[in-house]
Amino acid sequence: MASLGAMLSLSDINADGLEDVKQTCHVKCLTAVVDVGDSKACAEVVSATVKQLGRLDFVFNCAGVNPTAYDLTETTDDYYDKLMNTNVKGTYSITRAAIPHLPPGSAIVNVSSVMGVTAAAQYAIYCATKFAIVGFTKAMAMELGPKQVRVNAVAPGYINTPSNAGVVAGAEEVAEQEKKVALGRFGTAGEVADVVAFLFSDDSRYMSGSVVEITGGRI
């Protein structure tokens, strides 16, 4: 987004990570440390964004907690709450706060996952959150369409990020996961960002309620 000249308002629970990203963005860039599970904090950061930048054209809901493989009987309420509060409530709270400020022609992109369109054993809670994002996206597309606000989602597969379960597990696990990808490699965050930029652009002006899979051809 910065490379396309957009002013940015970035929020994350990780202050150091925020600062690192800000240093790579050579545009006006606001930052705020926010727990998206806190609806009041979400409302405050949206309000501050509009006040300081003057407008709000696009919303990218990408806060999320990566999954851990658990049999359902081994999960805890704390684990359930952590995933639901970040993956689902965060998307809901930011979107709710943003809607009054979005002009016609604006757009929202939410991050689901390949596990929001297919399921996997031992990932029931994570799948539930990502399926919820798909349903939320489609419902909001219907609700905001008359206001000419588009809402879409991306569903990434294996992406090379520090918190990816395979990356955390090590090179051997990465190699095993790459065998499940037709292109034979993990995707990059930049390749996901390219799709998000497309969904924000006028090139996708007739897309709303869509879920775009970014998987490299998941086998």
Beta-bridged to residue 109, according to DSSP, are 60, 152
Total residues found in the chain within this entry: 219
End-to-end distance of the chain based on CA atoms, in angstroms? 31
The residue ranges of DSSP E strands in 2-105, in sequence order, are 8-12, 29-33, 58-61
Q: Left (φ > 0), alpha (ψ -120 to 50) or beta: where does 50 sit? A: alpha
Helices and strands counted in the chain (H then E): 8, 6
Q: Is 79 a catalytic residue?
A: no
Question: What is the rounded CA–CA span in Å between residue 163 and residue 198?
Answer: 25
Q: Which of 92, 126, 158, 206 is catalytic?
A: 126
Catalytic residues: 126
